Structure 1
Amino acid sequence: MPRAVAPPPSGEFTIRLQKPFNGQPTHTVDVIGEPNRPASIRQATYSGINKANEKAGDVPKDDVEELMRLVNTLRGFPSHPSTDVYGADVKVDFNTFEIQWSNQDDDPTAGTVSEIAGEQKDDFQRVAESIEALARTFAKKDSAV
């Protein structure tokens, strides 16, 4: 079931990856921007509840377009509010003008990890790895913590 979140203005999007799936984050990646333009990316690591390190940068337009194509493949994938149905210990949220999705949404049809198709698990993992790769590649500048 899609979340009841207002879409961002004028085609903006936000994508967030968080590790672990439940509990206090140890690692987050945020990508914010608009389609067909470069986007901002922030990667943070945490020590307890405090940010230990934060890096920022810009993602080129071509990489933003590829990321949006990948993220849109998750449309309609199952999700569960308390169980990581993809077995990746990663939470991914995205909010675009067209769709709002999170693998932590309340989806009564989600089932369990063993019931999710292997192809969907692979697709989800590919999206999560792509978001992390963008952070490693472009979030290089120290940011105020």
Structure 2
Amino acid sequence: MPRQVAPPPSGEFTFRLQKPFSGTPTHTVEVIGEPNRPAVVRVSQYNGGNKSSEKTGDVPKDDVNELTTLVSTVRGFPSHPSKDVYGQDAKLELNTFEIQWSNEDEDAAANEVSEIAAETKDDFKRVVDSIEALGRTFAKNDSAV
């Protein structure tokens, strides 16, 4: 069942990546903004469940547009509340006006899927890698923890 999350107003979006999929996070990457405009990226590192450092930065408009296009490819992908069916050990949450999706959503269809197609896993990995790359590339400024 899809999450019952209200879409953000006026085209705003939030893309959140957390590793590992379950348990205490070691790091998160959040990209927050609006299409066709620069966005903010925030990378948080955790030490034993406590935030140990946080860096922020601005993502250029062209990279935001590329990411929003890429993110739309995972629309309708299966999800599972207790396991990462994509093999990335990553929790991905997408919240746009068009998409409210997480790979940890309760999805009855995911229980019926014994094997996720390699192409689907590749698409998911591409989104995860892109969000992590934006964090590494643009989150350079220290933020108050």
Give the shorter-chain TM-score range: over 0.9
Q: Is 1:70 equivalent to 2:70 in the alignment?
A: yes
Opposite residue 47 of structure 1, the aligned amino acid is N
Q: Is 1:132 equivalent to 2:135 in the alignment?
A: no
Query: Residue in 1 aligned with 2:100?
Result: 100
1:22-55, Cα deviation, whole Å (9 max, x unpaired): 0111110011000110000000110012111110
Instruction: Work out the number of aligned pairs and report it.
Output: 145
Check 1:104–1:69 CA distance in 2 against 1; reply closer, same or farther (3 A cut).
same
Unaligned runs of 5+ in 2: none
Distance 1:41 1:53 in 2: 14
Q: Which runs of 4+ in 1 moved over 4 A?
A: none
Distance 1:113 1:55 in 2: 38
**Identity of paired residues, percent?**
73
Distance 1:52 1:92 in 2: 21
Normalising by structure 1, report the TM-score. Answer: 0.97
* Root mean square deviation of aligned Cα: 1.2
Q: Is 1:6 equivalent to 2:6 in the alignment?
A: yes
Normalising by structure 2, report the TM-score. Answer: 0.97
Distance 2:140 2:113 in 1: 35
1:111 positional shift: 3.5
Query: Residue in 2 aligned with 1:47?
Result: 47
